Amino acid sequence: MSVRSSILALLTLGPAYGLQVHSEIEARTSRLGRINVGQIYATLTRLVEAGLVEPVSADLDGSVPPGTAVARLPFYELTTAGRLEAGTWLAGAPEGEPAWEEMVEHILLACTLPGADPLRLLGSYRTVWSRSPECTPSEPHDLAESARRQLTEAALRWLGEVEQRWMSGTLLTRALSSDRPRRGRRPVARS
């Protein structure tokens, strides 16, 4: 899953600051502990330079006054171009060979965002996985082709399960957390 795209998707919920973006992405996907917060801030800087995100200031209560300039702890919000790119990413699978982990994280994030349409995204991934070449092992011991076939079958089953759970209402979306992660290093878990 692209950190760039996941930041844009998360910011569809409203303005957020860098550490909050980091915490939200980790909480909503299977990437816990695998995204460096510095990567988030570097990507936010590139998104600002690309005109997809803009920094805004926040009041002491955390609310963002409209039309304000950057202040103490910058919040970032989507520009019109950023909102369009986020919408495109949330609507479909990337082109090319499907990647299992990228798909899982993409769908996990999309399923938590109010206003996203996971069914459209699921359908897009289903189409991509269904286009995977039909794997018919030419030799009884062709493990690579067998693995590809089984991964395709697993992906299609999982997509069906996610769709079923979405339709039954057991997958719940959520807004940005109002809990602000503390700045600095995470506390070390003690045994």
Range of the domain at 152: 92-175
Can you tell me the distance from the alpha carbon of 121 to that of 105, in angstroms, rounded to the nearest whole number? 12
* Residue 180 maps to a domain: no
Query: Strand 53-56 and strand 75-78: pairing?
Result: antiparallel
Confidence at residue 69, expressed as pLDDT on a 0 to 100 scale? 47
Is 124 in the same domain as 164?
A: yes
Average pLDDT score over residue span 6-23: 94
Confidence at residue 54, expressed as pLDDT on a 0 to 100 scale? 96
Number of structural domains the chain divides into:
2
Average pLDDT score over residue span 18-31: 89
Can you tell me the distance from the alpha carbon of 23 to that of 19, in angstroms, rounded to the nearest whole number? 6
* pTM, 2 dp: 0.80
Is 55 in the same domain as 5?
A: yes
